[in-house]
Amino acid sequence: MGWKNLDDMDLGGKCVLVRVDINVPVEDGKVTDDTRIRRVQPTIRDILAAGGRPILLAHFGRPKGKVVPEMSLRPLVPALEAAFGAPVTFCADCRGPAAQAAVDSLAEGAILLLENTRFHAGEEKNNAGLAAEMAELGDIYCNDAFSAAHRAHASTEGLARLLPACAGRLMQAELEALESALGQPQRPVVAVVGGAKVSTKLELLGNLVERVDHLVIGGGMANTFLAAQGIDVGKSLCEHEMTGTAREILVKAETTGCKILLPSDVVVAREFKAGAENETVAADACPADAMILDAGPETVARVAEVMEGAKTLIWNGPMGAFEIAPFDAATNAAAKQAAALTKAGQLITVAGGGDTVAALNQAGAAADFTYISTAGGAFLEWMEGKTLPGVAALTPQA
């Protein structure tokens, strides 16, 4: 893979600039969900244990290159101290003399948090001057923000090229999991792609048909594929203008030998609400005044069979409108099956996507998955086969 991790670096006594994603929700000055902070803890722990001095760089919100006091990172200090079990000092700039003074006076065993990198316009422009100013503050660069790696910003890309660079523990785990799912996976590989729309996941589908052995298409986007085959999907969510594209994907799958699995039965209802009266019908028998809100039990059984024969599963997008019962049934059943196979050591399971993570949590399956990515956009771009600038910058050129 080419990139280094913390074990490859000599951290003793070094100032380590750590790019983290601590873009957590805050209400009334208090962090309401510290998941992202806790996920950085292993990196901080290991740097401190090796005698290094962690200096945190992070963005927060979208201040668009200006100082916006409401988007200061300062209120996060107590949550960071609680998660890291170490004192955290704060400096109101991420570059320049004040930051340098804060670095120089950083006590051993303590952590320095620098102010929102996006307060400087150069951050999102990947400005070389800003990257150089940040580089002056440290000896080593460690990127632990995979979720920001799809953006070539000064703190994620430019800076990485100016100092000896490595991946942090979270970045490392993410890269290893994704590599095991799509890079050099154990085959057969099955991908489950669902969610609302084909249009948001076109590149994803295009990349997956080239790489996986089975592609399960579920959720609202399956309706577009059904429509592409001349099936009337009634009032279902469907992008009729995308049917040509859907057909192209089906044709491409034939040439690559990727087997596509579309719903053969569906759960339909007249209302998009919890507990709505519903029935299960064949996929080509959606009544004109009804909409498809979930895959049916026969489809779930076919998906289960494909999973049984697979070694690797990658999942993005729920199989149905999982937010409202009972239209979460297919997603829940498939998630539980994947979790059980993972627990039995039969299947490597990697999943990502905001709604997907919520759905897997709701199904009680997330804990048994091999890896759940919380990276959002970066995860999707990786699945689309794109090179992520923040990852590429960690890989030294030949």
Query: Active-site residues: which are they?
Result: 36, 197, 354, 377
Neighbouring CB atoms inside 10 A of 49's CB total 10
Tell whether residue 267 is a contact of ligand ADP (CB under 6 A): no
Sheet holding 278-282, edge to edge: 278-282, 265-269, 291-295
Q: Which of 292, 339, 360, 388 touches ligand ADP by CB under 6 A?
A: 292
Q: Which is nearer to ligand ADP, 196 or 281 (CB)?
A: 196
CB 189 within 8 A of CB 314: yes
Please give the structure tokens belonging to residue 285.
């028998």
Q: Which of 242, 293, 347, 363 touches ligand ADP by CB under 6 A?
A: 293
Instruction: Quote the crossing angle between the two packed helices 243-256 and 219-228, to the nearest 10°.
Output: 90
Q: Residue 219 binds which entry of Mg ion, ligand ADP, none, with Cβ cut-offs from 5 to 8 Å by kind?
A: ligand ADP
Residues 221-250, interacting with ligand ADP (CB under 6 A): 237
> Which run of H or E residues covers position 252?
helix 243-256
Tell whether residue 219 is a contact of ligand ADP (CB under 6 A): yes
Q: What is the nearest approach in angstroms of Mg ion to the Cβ of residue 355? A: 4
Q: Which is nearer to ligand ADP, 44 or 378 (CB)?
A: 378
Residues 182-221, interacting with Mg ion (CB under 5 A): none
Tell whether residue 290 is a contact of ligand ADP (CB under 6 A): no
Tell whether residue 355 is a contact of Mg ion (CB under 5 A): yes
Q: Residue 196 binds which entry of ligand ADP, Mg ion, none, with Cβ cut-offs from 5 to 8 Å by kind?
A: ligand ADP
Tell whether residue 356 is a contact of ligand ADP (CB under 6 A): yes
Of 97-105, 165-173, 249-257, 347-355, the window that binds ligand ADP (rule: CB under 6 A) is: 347-355
Please give the structure tokens belonging to residue 364.
């009680």
- How far apart CA 391 and CA 146 sit, in angstroms, is 8
SS3 of the chain: helix, strand, coil, percent, to 5: 40, 20, 40
Total residues at the site for Mg ion (CB under 5 A)?
Answer: 2
Counting Cβ atoms within 10 Å, is residue 249 exposed (0-12), middle (13-18) or buried (19+)? buried
Residues 196-215, interacting with ligand ADP (CB under 6 A): 196
Tell whether residue 354 is a contact of Mg ion (CB under 5 A): yes
Q: For residue 393, give the nearest of 57, 151, 117, 43 by alpha carbon.
A: 151
Q: Residue 292 binds which entry of ligand ADP, Mg ion, none, with Cβ cut-offs from 5 to 8 Å by kind?
A: ligand ADP
CB 164 within 8 A of CB 142: no
Q: Residue 185 binds which entry of ligand ADP, Mg ion, none, with Cβ cut-offs from 5 to 8 Å by kind?
A: none
Report in angstroms the alpha-carbon separations of 79 from 38, 88, 125.
9, 10, 30
Residues that bind ligand ADP (CB under 6 A): 194-196, 219-220, 237, 292-293, 316-318, 320-323, 353-356
